């Protein structure tokens, strides 16, 4: 079963070269890459699984998603999960 992810309780501020994220639950602050910030923004708009996030990301730059993209998005989501920035929800 594919995990559906949503953001934790975050405050974010975006710049062209990065995104600062404050986790209101843990009190930790992270400076993320722009793409990681974009993934968080997509999940803040609507919880989604990795293939859906990959499809939305690819669609923003007129690309089609594929397995390699899905894999890399899933890897990124796992990393964000380990930081406590996202959490899985029951689909």
Partner 1 sequence: MGLKERDKPNSNSTEESCDSMAKETGSPMAKESHNSTNRSPNMRRRALIAGLAATPVLLSLTNRSALGQNVDCSLLSSIILGGSVNDLPPGFDHKNPDFIENYYQTHCVEGGEPGTGNATGNSGRSTNGTGNSN
Can you give the binding site for partner 1, defined by CB under 8 A? Answer: 13-19, 25-38, 41, 57-58, 60-63, 68-69, 72-73, 75-76, 79-80, 82-84
Residue placing its CB nearer to partner 1 in the complex, 37 or 47: 37
Region at 33 (left for phi over 0; alpha for psi -120 to 50; beta for the rest): beta
CB of 15 to partner 1, least distance (A): 7
Which residue do the tokens 């007129």 mark? 62
CB of 83 to partner 1, least distance (A): 6
- Exposed/middle/buried for residue 66 (C-beta within 10 Å: 0-12, 13-18, 19+): exposed
């Amino acid at each position: 079963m594919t995990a559906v992810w949503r953001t934790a309780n975050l405050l974010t501020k975006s710049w062209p070269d990065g995104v600062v994220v404050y986790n209101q639950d843990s009190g930790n602050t992270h400076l993320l890459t722009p793409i990681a910030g974009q993934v968080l923004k997509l999940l803040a708009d609507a919880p989604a699984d990795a293939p859906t996030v990959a499809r939305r990301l690819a669609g923003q730059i007129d690309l089609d998603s594929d397995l390699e993209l899905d894999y890399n998005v899933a890897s990124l989501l796992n990393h964000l999960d380990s930081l406590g920035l996202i959490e899985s929800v029951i689909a």
